[in-house]
Structure 1
Amino acid sequence: MLTLYRPGDSWLYRLPAGPKTLLLLMSVFGVLLLPSAWWTAGAAAGISLVAYALAGLDDGAWGVRELGRQLFAVRWAILFTLAGQLLFLGPEAAVANTARVTASLVLAGLLVLTTRVSDLLDAFERGLRPLRRIGVDSERAALLLTVTLGTVPVLARLAGEVREAQRARGARASLRLFVVPFLVVSLKHADQLGDALAARGLQ
C-alpha cells in the first residue's frame, strides 16, 4: 500500500498515533466550525502555518516548505472547490469555505506525513473496537479510514505526475487533455490498491 510517511524525530513523530489523530481531528473540526467570513481565510491560513511550524518537520523553513508542497499537491482540489463555491455562493462564503477545506486537507496531511500506516491502522482499530458490539468490523473500518486519509494526497501526486508528463511532451495546458490521462492513472491506482487488499484477504 502506498504511504506518504516521511521519517522524522520531532515531538509530533514521537506522539502516539491515537492522541495525534485526536489532536489533528480537533484542529480540523475547529477550522470547519469557523464562520463564512473574510477573516476565516486568514485564520485558516494562520492555523495551518502554526501547525506545520510546530510539527518539527525539519524542512529548513519552519514547515513552510512542506506546507507549500502540500498546497501545491492539492491545488486542483482548491481551484475546483473555489470555482464551484463561486457559482452558487458569494465571494466571501466561497473564499471562506475553500480556506476551511484547504486547511483541513493540509492538517490531515500532517497525520499521514508523520505517522506510519501500520501505526494508524492499530490506532483506528483500537478506537473502533468497542463498536464490535453492534456488528462493526473494526479491522475493515480502520483500513477504510486509513486508505481514505491517503487518497487525496495520492490523487494530488498522480495529478502532478500527469501534468509533468504533459509538459515534458510539450502539451498545452488544457482541462480536457488533463482529465482523461488522470482518470486512467487514478483507475490504475485503484486496481492496484484493490489487488493489494484482495491479497490480504479483504474483499
Structure 2
Amino acid sequence: MIPLHRPGSSLLHRAPAGVKLSILAVAALVLSLYPHDPLSIGIALLAVCALYAVGRMGSRVLGAELWRLRWIVLVLATALAVFVSPVAAWISTGRVVVLLLLASLLTLTTPMSALLDVLRRLLHPLRRIGVDVEAVAMTISLTLTMIPVVAGFAERVREAGRARGVRLGPRAVVPMLVLALRHADDVGDALAARGIG
C-alpha cells in the first residue's frame, strides 16, 4: 500500500484519530443533507484550505491533492453544467472536493494504525451479531486511501506516455485498470498473509 501519512507536530497531527474521524463524518452529513448555495460552498472550500495550513501541509501539498482530483472535478462539473446548470455544477462539485480534501487531510495527518484502532473500537459492539470487525475496519481504511492511490496510478500512466511521446487519451484506462487490479491482488495477498479475509 502507498504510505499516505506525513509525520508532523501540528495541531491536526496531535489531535486524536477518533476526533478527526468524527469531524469528517459530521462534515459529510452536513454537506450531504444541508441545502447549500454557491457562497457556502466557497466558504467550505476556504475552510478546508485553512485546515491544510493548520496541519502545516503547505500550498504544495494542497495543490498536489487538488491536482489528483482534477479528472473527478472536470467530469462531474462538465456533466452537471451541461445537463443541470453551472450553479448546480459548482455546488455539487464543491461538496465532493471538500469531502475528498478532508478525507485526504485525515490520511495525511493520521497513521493508518491509529485509524484502524478507532474503527475497531467503534465497530466492536457489532461482534455480537457476527460482524467481522477487523474486515470492516480494514475495508473502510482501504476506501479512505484508494483515491490518492488510483490518482497515483493515473499519474504514472501519464508520465509513461509522455516519456514515450504518446498521448494515450481514453486508452489510458487500460494500463490504469491493469495497475489497479495488480494493486488489488497485492493488497489481497497482504491481507491473506495477516489472516484477514
Whether TM exceeds 0.5 here: the answer is: yes
Find out whether 1:145 has 2:140 as its counterpart: yes
Matched, 1:19 2:13: no
Shift in Å, 1:70: 0.4
Give the Cα–Cα distance (whole angstroms) in 1 for the partners of residues 3 and 71 of structure 2.
Answer: 21
SS of the residue 2:27 aligns to: helix
Q: Please list every run of at least 4 consecutive aligned residues from structure 1 whose deviation after the TM superposition is greater than 6 angstroms.
A: none
Task: Give yes or no for contact 2:5–2:109 (8 Å, CA) kept in 1.
Answer: yes
- For residues 151-203 of structure 1, the C-alpha deviation after alignment (integer angstroms, 9 at most, x for no partner) is 1111011111111111111112x432211111111111111111111111122
**Paired residues of 2:81 and 2:87 also in contact (CA < 8 A):** no
Specify which of 159, 181, 193 is matched with residue 187 of structure 1.
Answer: 181
1:78 paired with 2:76, answer: no
Identity of aligned residues (%): 46
Q: Give me the whole-angstrom Cα distance separating, in 2, the residues matched to 1:55 and 1:7.
A: 10
What is the CA deviation profile of residues 66-116 of structure 1, one whole-angstrom value per residue up to 9, with x for unaligned ones?
Answer: 111101112112222223323432221122101110111011001111111
Q: Deviations for 1:129-171, whole angstroms, at most 9, x for unmatched residues?
A: 1222232221111111100100111101111111111111111
1:192, 1:83 → 2: CA distance? 35
Find the residue that maps to 1:9 and give its secondary structure: coil
Tell me the TM-score normalized by structure 1.
Answer: 0.88
**What corresponds to 1:69 in structure 2?**
64
1:200 aligns with 2:194: yes
Aligned to 1:60: none
Aligned to 1:90: 85
Question: In angstroms, what is the RMSD of aligned CA positions?
Answer: 1.8
Kindly state the Cα deviation for residue 9 of structure 1 after the two structures are TM-superposed: 1.1
Quick check: 2:134–2:196 contact (8 Å CA) kept in 1? Answer: no
Specify every segment of 5 or more residues in structure 1 that has no aligned partner in the other structure, as ranges: 58-62
- Residues 16-165 of structure 1 correspond to what in structure 2 (within 5 A)? 16-57=16-57, 63-165=58-160
Per the alignment, residue 8 of structure 1 pairs with 8
Provide the rounded CA distance (Å) in 2 between the counterparts of 1:119 and 1:105. 20
